[in-house]
Amino acid sequence: FDHNISPTIGASFMTKTVPCGNELHKFLIWDTAGQERFHSLAPMYYRGSAAAVIVYDITKQDSFHTLKKWVKELKEHGPENIVMAIAGNKCDLSDIREVPMKDAKEYAESIGAIVVETSAKNAVNIEELFQGISRQIPPLDPHENSNNGAIKLGKQTSQTGRRCC
């Protein structure tokens, strides 16, 4: 939970502004439900987005598998050139980790995604995550003034794991 992110209505839609070079990127972060039940709605959320953050829980191997499914779906049906980032959340609980950092890194490399381990709870690496995405998002038409839609696919339903960004 990052203080720079301001929810107005609720935590499922947020905006975040990230300085990148001499311009500001404004992220409009659309959270989508990760449950199977809502899977069919996901395309509505990632349509037109410039980046996707796919979050898994480092303490749950399952979530890493699910993540792969999302990556596959995004590759097949997502917008072209979407920037993908994989966030292994709950890095504060690394003692009960199930997914080795190495696995995530290798996987991310294989799909050309940004990878970072984060802690939503302690706001670890979240800034870095967005900066990384910012750098990869192609420069926009100046008139658009850096409005990037970024979408987070909140995959896990686990309680503390939800990252809002």
Partner 1 sequence: MKARCLDKRGSFFKLIDTIASEIGELKQEMVQTDLTVEDESADLRSLVKDMDNVSPEKNDVKSCPRDSGYDSLSNKLSILDKLLHTHPVWLQLGLNDAEAREILQAQPPGIFLVRKSPRLQKKVISLRLPSDCGSCLKEFAVKESTYTFSLEGSGISFADLFRLIAFYCISRDVLPFTLKLPCAIAAAKTEAELEEIAQLGLNFWSSPANSNPPDPPAPRRPVPLDSACKDSRQLCLINGVHSIRTRTPSELECSQTNGALCFINPLFLKVHSQDVGGSLKRQSPRTQDVNGAARPRSPPPRPPPPSINSILTSPQLSRTIKQASMPETVNHKKERGLDLLQNKPTPIPPPRLKKQAVSSEVEGSSKNTVVIRPGCSSVHMPEAAGVPGETLPEPTPAAAKKTVASSSESHIPWNGGRQRLSDMSISTSSSDSLDFDRSMPLFGYEGDTNSSLEDFEGESDQESMAPPLKPKKKRNSSFVLPKIVKSQLRKVSGVFSSFMTPEKRMIKKIAEMSQDKRTYFGCLVQDYVSFLQENKECHVSSTDMLQTIRQFMTQVKNYLSQSSELDPPIESLIPEDQIDVVLEKAMHKCILKPLKGHIEAMLKEFHTADGSWKQLKENLQLVRQRNPQELGVFVPTPDFVDVEKIKVKFMTMQKMYSPEKKVMLLLRVCKLIYTVMENNSGRLYGADDFLPVLTYVLAQCDMLELDTEIEYMMELLDPSLLHGEGGYYLTSAYGALSLIKNFQEEQAARLLSSEARDTLRQWHKRRTTNRTIPSVDDFQNYLRVAFQEVNSGCTGKTLLVRPYITTEDVCQLCAEKFKVDNPEEYSLFLFVDDTWQQLTEDTYPQKIKAELHSRPQPQVFHFVYKRINSDPYGAVFQNNDDSAS
> Which residues form the interface with partner 1 (CB under 8 A)?
1, 7-13, 15, 28, 30-35, 37-38, 40-41, 44-45, 48, 147, 149, 154, 156-157, 162-164
**Closer CB to partner 1, residue 13 or residue 98?**
13
Q: How far is the CB of 33 from partner 1 (least distance, A)?
A: 4
Residue 87 structure tokens: 């966030």
101 phi and psi angles, rounded to 5 deg: -55, -35
Q: How far is the CB of 48 from partner 1 (least distance, A)?
A: 7
Q: How far is the CB of 1 from partner 1 (least distance, A)?
A: 7
- In whole angstroms, what is the distance from residue 123 CA to residue 120 CA? 5
Token pair 């686990």 in the structure block, residue: 158
**Closer CB to partner 1, residue 28 or residue 101?**
28
- Indicate the SS3 state at residue 140: coil
**Closer CB to partner 1, residue 125 or residue 156?**
156
DSSP 83: E
**Closer CB to partner 1, residue 45 or residue 64?**
45
- Indicate the SS3 state at residue 41: helix
Q: How far is the CB of 51 from partner 1 (least distance, A)?
A: 13
DSSP 158: -
State how far Cα 44 lies from the chain centre.
16
